[in-house]
Structure 1
């Protein structure tokens, strides 16, 4: 076999303390337990957590030029993030209609970003959305049995209107 470079990844596993750190930081995990980037082509060093970037072996086995390239990209992304001086949140965040919220807590338990908490207001439990933590994934919207949670720009009425328009042709 003629080859300039052969890379084997047999028996390579993430560091022992990685799982605990990953859970604390809420970083997604891909096959083999390695960190998962936000998008492999468009955002290869970004995570679902603002301000946390990936480089090197934590994404899986890499050769030296790949590690150097990812490290430079992660450093550039971190500098760009810090130089802005503020964090942009997604406009598609969830919101709660407190009048119909039953306070069951299903939305809080299903939210992968821990952006929803259940609070007691005027003697009743209601869900509250932290707009900084919410990434607009919509998991809570689909799980709410009372329909109290909606998503900006994706309310039930907006989505149904789009479906009706598509059905009409």
Structure 2
């Protein structure tokens, strides 16, 4: 078998492995994250609940994305299990991420609201901050994919050179 054929098979295998790791990494990172989406307006809030155990994690993270974003018309609040608002943030861009401390075990609420009568579609998520080990799977998958793509390009170049030599 020619070098270009072997390189093509190895590169294809690396791409499949990289894609598999990418899917697996996303599932691992999003484990324990509660996600919701819906319409938000002056009369309609979006509330997302997630249960946290203080001994399992010391910090959580929220992410909010607002379609049809308008300046200072949306805000996000986090309510701890005791009913105390621990964070209140005006959403000043289309997508925000904010970390918060887990000091009590129980259910935390992410409430997204608006001061505008116009409805907007909003996506929100609340969950534990993923540790570095979980994040590294995502980086590894990207490296494997890049190496596979480079190999695929090299296999194409070798194939073309072999065709030219045989003519």
TM-score with structure 2 setting the length: 0.24
Structure with the bigger percentage of strand = 2
TM-score, normalized by length of structure 1? 0.23
Asked which structure has the greater CA Rg, the reply is 2
Q: Which has the higher contact order (CA 8 A, sep 6+)?
A: 2
